[in-house]
Structure formats: C-alpha cells, structure tokens
Structure 1
Amino acid sequence: MAGRKLAAEKGIKTNGMKEMTQKSNQPETKTASAAAMIVCPECGKETDKTVKNVCPDCFGKRLNLFDLPEVLHARICQRCGAHYYKSKWEDMGTPEEVAMLTAESHLAIPDGIENITVGMHPYARSPYIFDVLVDVEGEVDGVKYYKDAKTEVRIKREACEMCSRRAGGYFEGIIQIRANNRIPTKEEVTECLKLVEESMTAQLKKGDKLAFVTDTMTFKDGADVYIGSSKAGKHVCKHIIEVMGGTVAESYTLAGMKDGKDIYRTTFAMKLPEFKKGDVVYFEDKVIEIKNCGKRVTGINLMNSSNFFIDGEHFKGAKLLGNTADAKETVLVSVEEHGIQILDPETFETVTIQKPMSFNALPGSEIKVFKTEYGIFAL
C-alpha cells in the first residue's frame, strides 16, 4: 500500500451519521467562459481545467480515491465489552462504534488528496456482522471526486485478558481486615467490605482493569479480601482508614515470574482501631465515652460532660473500661444543682454523682449509669 496512508493515521475524522452519497468517482468542475480551452491528450475533449495534465474525467477514471477490504474482523469481550485495538484491550463503546472504528482503521487514502471528508454508517445484519457504508470526498488540484463502498465487519466475541483473569481467580493482593487488640464486630466487618467495594468501583472507573474482588472469606476475627490489583488495594486501605481509622502494614510474597521479572503478591494487614464507638476508656485522668475512633478520636468526658477530641496517632495508652452496651439501669432519687442522687446498681446504696449537661430526667425515673473503678457516671 505504498503511497497510501490509513485515514486514522492522517487524522481524518469520520462522520458516522453522514448520509451516504450515491455519486460515482466523477469530478465536480466549474466552467469559466473566460478561461482558455485545452485539449485533453487522452480523450481529445476540450476542457478549461486539467488534473495532472489530463481532463478531470480521464484523471477520475484512473484515480482510486481509497482502498478498503471487503471483509474485516474485530474482537469484543463478551463480558465487559472491551475492544481489542492496536494490540491491547480498550473500552471503545458500542458494537456499532467498534464496527465503524474497525472500518476507519483500515481505510487507506492515497497521498495528494486534499480536503478529505469521510462518511460512515453501520448497519447490523446480526449481533456478529455489521455492514459499514463508507463514502469519501476529496480534492485533487481543486477538483472534487467522490467514491462510496461497503465493507463487512465480522465481530468475534471472546473474553478479554482482564475478564479471563477474573474468571480464573487471579489476585495480586490480600486485604486482611482485623482489629487492634480485639475482635472486630460483625457491623465493622460489613462496613469495611462495603468500603472495599466502593473503592474498587472508583478505581475501575479510573481505568484500573484489575480493580475487582476475586474472593472474600470471613472469620471470627475478621475477613480476608482477595483483590486483582495491588495498586487498588492501597486505595482501599486508605479509604478504610479515612472512614474508620486504623493502620495498615504491607508485606510481599514472591508469586512467580513473567517475562523474566519476579511477580509479587501484596498482603495488606489492615487493623481497625483498638477502640470503637460506645467504648468507655480511661485516658490521661479522664473517663471518655468514645463517639468516633478514626484518624481523629472524639468523645465525651463523662467526668464533666465536656467534648473530647484528639488526633488518633496521639491516642496511646488508653485503658478500656467497658462499653455503654454494658450500662445498667438504676433509680434516680433526686436532682440537685450540680449533682444527682442515684441508687448504686450493685449495692443499692444512695450515692451522689456528677450531673450530666442537659439532664432532664425526673426523680423516681430510671436512668442508665456506667460503673467503673473511677466512679459511677450517668449516660
């Protein structure tokens, strides 16, 4: 195909909605009465315009405006719809668009053609065969020429490389969801798995074809999530830490070789924070009811009802006293200006404790209290 270039290489844009012209490879000329007439050396006809030293008609007979194979082949993934194009799988749109792109990539136009426009329109004969009608308009020495043709695009549906890997259980990393010095709750594990799916979907939209979950295994002490992309795994752990707090440590295991290079799998040891919402802890002479324990720890100081907050990295050495779920109900005896009298839930003795802010319970009613070695606190 010497002296010719593919339309795609020339940067020619095709119009998929252009109506097909029925004109043959004939020139469009303008007459100029004042111009001198010339005799065509091939056919002897007088003309006021020549193209490459012959009349436009004679040149048009020898001009092949474009070459296009009668039958073309395309490959589309039957699972994700990706198209195999230029030696790699890419998201290219609908089968109709793939048929047009295939025709365009094989459309060859000779050098020397100017002001080229290309019209294409695909017609589905079946889910696997498309007819693509093509017409091309171009100019040579200011004279317009036209040509139309049809090519058949046969589509082969198969599994792309990424879908084949997914179906085969491929994984590059394992996210191990655990908790620091405790067993995570079922609710925490469920929330983590939800965050995994959210992050994987986001990475897939950004172009990471391996951002998928191969398998999920749950245990008493957490869950293991097998993922197709180690790169996506980093984003997953970052997302979990941003929402729920915690830490992650990475380790690597040699899994084999590809193209002479070692292939490693990554294990992400994801640990949720030591404390969770509702835990009551003793920290720096304060009894704190935890409200959130992420990158920033927030809660209520039960000793004076003040708000508590601190960066998670500085929340070290806290002592777990229990959880508000373990609180006990007792009788409110009386309400004073700065304190309240209650019955000790264990000894049933009347004791005075700190009155919480915005306290509006009435004497004789039952309230929940949390008893610790540092005192009894109303919740």
Structure 2
Amino acid sequence: MHILVLGAGVVGTTTAWFLQKQGHQVTVVDRQNKAALETSYANGGQISVSHAEPWANPSAPLKVLKWLTRPDAPLLFRPRLDPAQWRWALSFLGQCTSARAAHNIRQMVNLGTYSRGQLQALREETGIEYDHLEKGILHFYTNPAEFEAAMEPTRLMQELGCDRQVIDSARAIELEPALKPIRHRIAGATYTSEDESGDARKFTQNLAQRCADAGVTFRYGTRILGFEQASERILGVQTLNEGRHETLRADAYVLSLGSFSAALARQLGIYLNIYPAKGYSITVPVKNEEAAFNVSLTDDEYKLVFSRLGDRIRVAGTAELSGYSRRLNYTRCRAIVRRTAEVMPEAGHWDQAEFWAGLRPATPSNVPYIGKSHYANLYLNTGHGTLGWTHSCGSAAALADIIDGRTPEVDFAFSRL
C-alpha cells in the first residue's frame, strides 16, 4: 500500500520508518527543506516517561491566574480574539479535575513506556546516533509545596509501572553532583533511572536518511494546501512546490503536522482540539566539565528540562499560548538563562546562549490523537504537546499496527474521529 505521511518532524519521520518496515511504500511531505526543522529542531531532549503529569491538574487554574501578569511565567496565557484559543482554554479547565488528571497520566505513562521500548529496539537495530544518554531523569524541587504536590502524581505513575523513586536532597546530589550549588535549597527530588535523553533533531534527520535508504520518498519544500475527497475517502492532497500545483495521491494518508494539523483537519470536518503552545530553549557550550550535569534534569517549579547533548547543554520549557507566531520573547529567553545559571553557574557559557522557540501541538489533556478518522483512509498521529520526542516511536509503531488491522501492544485510548 502507498501511504502519504504529512509532516517530517520526529512523529512523521518515525511513522514513515515503521510503515516502511511493514512493507509499505511511503512518501513524506513537508514544507521545510529538511526533516525536523520546526518543533523537533531544538526541544528539551528528554525521553521522559516520568514527565507524565499533565498541565491540566487541580492546581493549574490558580497558578495560571497568578501567572497572568508575569511575562516570564512558566505557563503564560495571552488572550486573543481567537475562538480556537478560548475553546481550548475552556476544555483545559474541564481537564483540571483529579479524575481527569489521573486518567491522562495513565494514558501518557502507558504510551511513554511502550514508546521508550520501541526507541531502544530501533536504536539496537540501526545503531543510530543522536547524543543519547541512558542516565535517567532527576526531577528536583526548590519549593517544598511543589515537592509535596508531586507526590500523588508520582504514586500514580509508580502504580502504572514507572519506576519514579522519591529521594532526598543528599541522594539527588549523589546522583548528580552538578546540583551542589543549590543543595541547601533542594526540598526533595524524584529519580527515574530508565528514562533517557538525546538530540531529537539529530535522531530525526539520521532516521530520515535511513528511511530514504530503505526507499521512502521525501518531498521537501512542499506546502500542503488541502484535500481532494469523495464520500468518506481522501482522493489526494493538494500541494504547492516552487510555484507548481500538484495533487499527490496514495492509498492512505497520515496527518502528522503538529500544531498545523487542526486547520487542515477542519477542511474535512474533523475537529482536533490542538492549539500551539510556544516553548523556548537555550543551547550553550559546556564551560566546566566537572560542573556540568550528565543526568537529565527537570525543574518542575519553573517547568524547565535540562539535557546534556555531547559538549552542549540544552535547557527548554515554559509554554506561551499566544497564537502561531514563533517570534522570540527575550524576557522569557533571559528567564531561562537566569534560572539555569542560578542552578549551576559554572556549567555552561551562559552568555553564549542560542535561543529558539517552537510551537508544540498541545491538546488540553496532553494526550495525543493517534488512530483512525471517519475517512476510511485517513489516519491521525498528532497533538503530542511537550512529549512528541518521548512518544514518537510508540505512536508510530502503534499507528502502523492500526493501519495494518492489528491491535497495538499498548493500553491506550486510540482515536476514532
């Protein structure tokens, strides 16, 4: 079967990989001139099953209200005359109950655990390199209230098989000595030894090359304009490349366009509650090897993740719900530098920070859309929010099974829209 994958980010590229492994002819279409040049370009780098507490939880509404007037807030909502933004926000509030948060944690832990295993198998099979480290992820807390609030989600994750251990500050420093500058401020921590980190862009671009070597066709520099359809089937995808219009046809289609999936799906009468959450990152060269970290870190109070990518440090996080602009807000960039330099002042050349912003395709629940649409030959693999890198291989493997009529090997609420 010929399958057209729309999007060459980490989710679309892994989808192409798993589909070609199952014998399909695959074409990938993307407006950029290379894979992973948008949301997958400079993300936080974590393969983090333990990062499964959704933004929408019982404490979120009050926090968001407190943060409304703070330009450097971890989660910043900038109201716009945009019905999609307000629908998303209202749905987000509906997800902020204990019951919904527990349900969503279950979805994300199950998918994350499965996905991490699929990534490990892919890495063993291909020998792919992407500055990966298998040293676990350590969540540290400098606010006692934040640490206490993390206990219930941690318990739920443990019940689901995520080995997220609760540890004290002494054990945190033992695991990652780079935290010594703030050792007296650490109220507590958790550690998940099986979690990993790595450069999502390197992974995606190297995997795209392996896909091409295996016969996958990549149509870069190609804008997707819309669909041709008849009854309940997609007949083709209308595209524009260097001023030339063309309709690309296949037997089946996979929508993996991140934050831009929702607008395209609306043309087909499919409503995806996805809104762009602009995230920021800094990338800096290591300054002092002894002061730099190797265990990937999460600063839950400030919503930042730290990954070591070879001789570089990547720190990413925060979320800004303000539309589709990727323009840098330097107040938010400097806030990341300020907090990171406070945590480990000698680790990196903080004055050489390279800033980046990307649009994460966020759902109100943080749970992605994976599965079938009501069109017989259109499938969804989108809306992964902050966990696209974590969930990519599992989402792709599961969707490949769905397309081939098999039941995926993961307990997850797959979509039927």
Identify, as 1 or 2, the structure richer in strand. Answer: 1
- Identify the structure with bigger relative contact order (alpha carbons < 8 Å, sequence gap 6+): 2
Identify, as 1 or 2, the structure richer in helix. Answer: 2
Structures share fold, TM-score greater than 0.5: no
- TM-score with structure 2 length normalisation? 0.17
Larger Rg: 1
- TM-score with structure 1 length normalisation? 0.18
